[in-house]
Amino acid sequence: MAESFVIPCPHCDTLNRVPAARLGEGGKCGRCGGPLFTGRPITLDAGRFERHAAAGLPLLVDFWAAWCGPCRAMAPVFEAAARDMEPLARFAKVDTEAEQGLAARYGIQAIPTLVLFRSGREIARQSGALSGQQLRTWLRSRLEGYTKS
Which of 9, 29, 32, 68 is flagged as catalytic?
A: 68
The number of C-alpha atoms within 13 Å of 56 and in the hemisphere containing its C-beta is 17
Q: Has 71 been annotated as catalytic? A: yes
H/E element, 122 = strand 121-127
Q: Has 32 been annotated as catalytic? A: no
60 and 102 in contact (C-beta within 8 Å)? no
The number of C-alpha atoms within 13 Å of 29 and in the hemisphere containing its C-beta is 17
Which of 9, 12, 32, 71 is flagged as catalytic?
A: 71
H/E element, 51 = helix 46-53
The residues that are catalytic are 68, 71
